[in-house]
Amino acid sequence: MKDYIVRATAGEGTIRAVAAVTTNMVKDSQKVHGLSPLATVALGRTMTAAAMMSTTLKEEKAAITVQIKGDGPIGGIVVVSDSSANIKGYVHNPLVYLPLNSQGKYDVAGAVGSGYLNVIKDLGLKEPYIGYVDLVSGEIAEDITYYYVYSEQIPTVTALGVLTNATQIVVSSGGFILQLMPGADEETITFIENKINSIPPVSELLAQGKTPEEILEMILSEKDIKIIDKSPCRYFCNCSRERMERNILSLGKNEIMSLINENHGAEAQCHFCNEKYQFSEQDLLNLIDG
């Protein structure tokens, strides 16, 4: 199944829904970064959330960044998505390992620890919108839910999952976000809560071959669900030599001269795809001279 996102409404517009399958994206990230299974699950959940959150971006050059910083051994998670759901991300400690938690699952909460979640929306304006919340669990889905409720005042349900097999290979990945719009009543809230509690985890449904559309149908079929659109998502880094040149220039002339005198050049590496860019002494001198 190819990776994609679907958007839908239900309940005469009082429910907004997004669902995604991101299996290939997560496999790509694991390969690019050499991630441990635990790091794969943590980054995969965050990338899935960012992919679905990016569907609210209307401007072509808009982007959304999800940053999770905790005191656990994974250190932090950074994921960026543009308005076309081109996703890139990394974790600070790609080889993090912990024993399974008391439910026999990957201990993402233990890896993340206590800390905060930032959501930065760059809409092409002078200043980006920045939402900040403390982590409530470190399990990612609950933290995204809390972000929407606390920072954007939108009642939300979030489900995220990455399933691996006995050989620690990613089998499925995806998620859904359900949000209540103005006009939703208590009956609708209770209905959604009961439905969510009655279905298997989203990663298991995807592993069974269920599509994002079918998963939303399972939850919202009684609420007259309407699929709005379907769009692809993928792991993709847009780094370039020119972008790295700008990063080096931001160091300032004195720091660049130090690189020339002490190292006789520089190597810049992209955090998101690990691509390395070499700059000779002459390259650095040319940057300074403009």
Kindly report the average pLDDT of the chain as a whole number: 94
| Residue located via tokens 């808009």 | 62
Is-contact 122 270, C-beta < 8 A?
A: no
| Residue located via tokens 């994974």 | 74
Give every strand in the sheet of 15-21, ordered side by side. 156-164, 170-180, 15-21, 4-10, 226-232
Q: Can you give the pLDDT at residue 1?
A: 85
- Taking residue 268's Cβ as centre, other Cβ atoms within 10 Å add up to 16
Is-contact 57 121, C-beta < 8 A?
A: yes
Determine whether 16 is exposed, middle or buried from the number of CB atoms within 10 Å of its CB (0-12, 13-18, 19+): buried
Give yes or no: residues 217 and 255 share one domain.
no
Give yes or no: residues 22 and 87 share one domain.
yes
Cα–Cα distances (Å) from 239 to 4, 66, 198, in that order, read 23, 18, 43
Q: How many angstroms separate the CA atoms of 171 and 241, rounded? A: 35
Our CA angle for 150, 89, 82, nearest 5°, is 70
Q: What is the pLDDT of residues 3-24, one digit of tens each?
A: 999 999 999 999 999 999 999 9
Count structural domains, the chain: 2
Structure tokens of 221?
Answer: 């079929």
Give yes or no: residues 20 and 55 share one domain.
yes
Q: What is the pTM of this model?
A: 0.93
Statement: residue 41 has pLDDT above 90: yes
pLDDT band at 124, cuts 50/70/90? confident
Supply the CATH number for residue 247's domain.
3.90.1280.10
93: left (phi over 0), alpha (psi -120 to 50) or beta: beta
Give yes or no: residues 131 and 43 share one domain.
yes
Supply the CATH number for residue 118's domain.
3.55.30.10
Region of poorest pLDDT, from 55-64, 67-76, 129-138, 232-241: 55-64
Domain range for residue 92?
4-235
Higher pLDDT residue, 139 or 1?
Answer: 139
Give yes or no: residues 226 and 284 share one domain.
no
Give yes or no: residues 220 and 248 share one domain.
no
Is-contact 40 89, C-beta < 8 A?
A: no
Query: Element (H or E) spanning 8, and its range?
Result: strand 4-10
Give yes or no: residues 193 and 134 share one domain.
yes
DSSP string covering 17-47: EEEEE-HHHHHHHHHHHT--HHHHHHHHHHH
Q: What is the pLDDT of residues 62-83, one digit of tens each?
A: 999 999 999 999 999 999 999 9
Is-contact 206 23, C-beta < 8 A?
A: yes
Q: Which of 81, 74, 158, 92 lies closest to 120 in space, CA to CA?
A: 81
Statement: residue 288 has pLDDT above 80: yes
Q: Can you give the pLDDT at residue 212?
A: 98
Give yes or no: residues 272 and 157 share one domain.
no
Q: How many angstroms separate the CA atoms of 104 and 71, rounded? A: 22
Q: Can you give the pLDDT at residue 222?
A: 92
Helix axes 23-33, 37-53, angle to 10 degrees: 130
Give yes or no: residues 229 and 283 share one domain.
no
Q: Last residue of a domain, which of 210, 235, 260?
A: 235
Give yes or no: residues 253 and 173 share one domain.
no
Structure tokens of 132?
Answer: 């900040």
Three-state DSSP state, 265 = strand
Give yes or no: residues 226 and 245 share one domain.
no
Q: Can you give the pLDDT at residue 57?
A: 93
Give yes or no: residues 226 and 285 share one domain.
no
Three-state DSSP state, 238 = coil
Statement: residue 287 has pLDDT above 80: yes
